[in-house]
């Protein structure tokens, strides 16, 4: 079945990707020793809005052993040091998404930063309708192994749906037997992670990113106010605690979590003392290749 890649949904994916490519570059330029995590995150999120999109999720700023789901808390005073920094940024236009990430290395570990970028290019070279997701993973694993590092095997790329940040198919970061064949018209984010650690991340204690699980009747006023904002502004997409306008947002989120109305995203991290790098693009799969929307 042929797919019309000029359809409005694809145009909105492309618009989101164009915005994201610009914001990624501008945000990365602001990552330097002594700069504020919160300033970089808020700059990127506001710049997305200025350019006509909306953040698809809070800007992730992952440092050293952190791989994903780290974002500044309200009034965060953290600054960058001589560290490995991953910026993961998303944009949506009317719910149609683009997702991208880049490593800014301030630690002097150049090759670890290069490994996922080269692995991503190798993956993009094989993407086309009919390619098996395990083959994409094999390309990623081969390049990262060649650098002497490990892919993070329990993180993967993913499909992008309407108001859905993570959908099928999963795009593994290693060779696997299971998986699916990509089809023309699929919109997927491919995101290799490389590490000098063991290659598996675990959940940390910190949670600053949340998403709606279900709508429900909530008695507490602050929690109810937070829920109204979540449903209206963020729908099913992830949001940050610092985005909530309600007073006592931390308590409101705790109540909503206890009622299974929202769920949190714990920071995912390698072992302490290890480093994780990342590179990600969003692509539209075509019959004979792919279109990178976030180049």
What Å distances lie between residue 63 and 15, 68, 71, 85, 276, CA to CA? 29, 9, 10, 5, 8
Catalytic annotation, pick one of 88, 141, 207, 270: 88
- Say if residue 94 carries a ligand binding annotation: no
Catalytic annotation, pick one of 13, 37, 92, 158: 158
Q: Which helix (H) or strand (E) holds 165?
A: strand 164-171
Is 166 annotated in the active site? yes
Catalytic annotation, pick one of 76, 114, 162, 166: 166
Is 54 annotated in the active site? no
Is 263 annotated in the active site? no
CB count in 10 Å sphere of residue 260: 10
Is 280 annotated in the active site? yes
Cis check for the bond before 169: say yes or no (omega within 30 of 0). yes
Catalytic annotation, pick one of 18, 54, 280, 281: 280
- Say if residue 263 carries a ligand binding annotation: no
- Say if residue 13 carries a ligand binding annotation: no
Instruction: Report the distance separating Cα 91 and Cα 115, nearest Å.
Output: 25
| CA-wise closest residue to 95 among 170, 181, 162, 28 | 162
What Å distances lie between residue 88 and 12, 238, 280, CA to CA? 20, 13, 8
If you search the block for the tokens 């963020």, which residue do you land on? 234
Question: Per-residue b/e over 56-73, b at no fewer than 16 CB within 10 Å?
Answer: bbbbbbbbbbbbbbbbbb
User: What value does the CA radius of gyration of the chain take, rounded to a whole number of Å?
Assistant: 19
Is 191 annotated in the active site? yes
Tokens of 201: 């991340």
- Say if residue 166 carries a ligand binding annotation: yes
Cβ-contact 291, 92 below 8 angstroms: no
CB count in 10 Å sphere of residue 77: 9
Is 110 annotated in the active site? no
- Say if residue 99 carries a ligand binding annotation: yes
Q: What are phi and psi of 167, to 5 degrees?
A: -130, 175
Q: Active-site positions?
A: 88, 99, 158, 166, 191, 280
Q: Which residues are annotated as a binding site for substrate?
A: 69, 166
Q: Which residues are annotated as a binding site for a divalent metal cation?
A: 88, 99, 158, 191, 280
Q: Which residues are annotated as a binding site?
A: 69, 88, 99, 158, 166, 191, 280
């Amino acid at each position: 079945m042929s797919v019309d890649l000029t359809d409005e949904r694809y145009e909105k994916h492309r618009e989101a990707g164009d915005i994201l490519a610009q914001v990624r570059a501008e945000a990365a330029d602001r990552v330097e020793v002594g700069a504020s995590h919160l300033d970089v995150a808020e700059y990127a999120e506001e710049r997305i809005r200025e350019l006509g999109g909306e953040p698809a999720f809070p800007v992730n700023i992952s440092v050293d052993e952190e791989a994903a789901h780290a974002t500044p808390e309200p009034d965060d005073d953290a600054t960058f040091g001589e560290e490995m920094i991953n910026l993961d940024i998303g944009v949506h236009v009317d719910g149609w998404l683009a997702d991208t990430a880049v490593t800014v290395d301030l630690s002097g570990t150049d090759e670890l930063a290069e490994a996922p970028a080269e692995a991503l290019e190798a993956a993009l070279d094989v993407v086309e309708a009919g390619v098996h997701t395990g083959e994409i993973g094999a390309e990623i694993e081969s390049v990262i192994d060649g650098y002497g590092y490990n892919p993070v095997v329990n993180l993967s790329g993913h499909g992008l749906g309407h108001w859905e940040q993570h959908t099928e198919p999963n795009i593994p970061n290693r060779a696997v037997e299971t998986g699916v064949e990509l089809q023309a018209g699929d919109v997927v984010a491919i995101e290799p992670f490389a590490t000098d650690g063991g290659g598996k991340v675990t959940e940390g204690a910190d949670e600053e990113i949340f998403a709606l699980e279900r709508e429900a009747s909530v008695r507490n006023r602050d929690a109810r106010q937070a829920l109204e904002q979540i449903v209206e502004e963020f729908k099913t997409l992830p949001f940050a605690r610092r985005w909530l306008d309600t007073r006592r947002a931390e308590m409101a989120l705790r109540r909503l979590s206890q009622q299974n109305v929202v769920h949190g995203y714990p920071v995912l991290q390698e072992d302490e003392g290890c480093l994780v790098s990342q590179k990600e693009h969003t692509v539209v799969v075509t019959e004979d290749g792919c279109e990178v929307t976030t180049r």
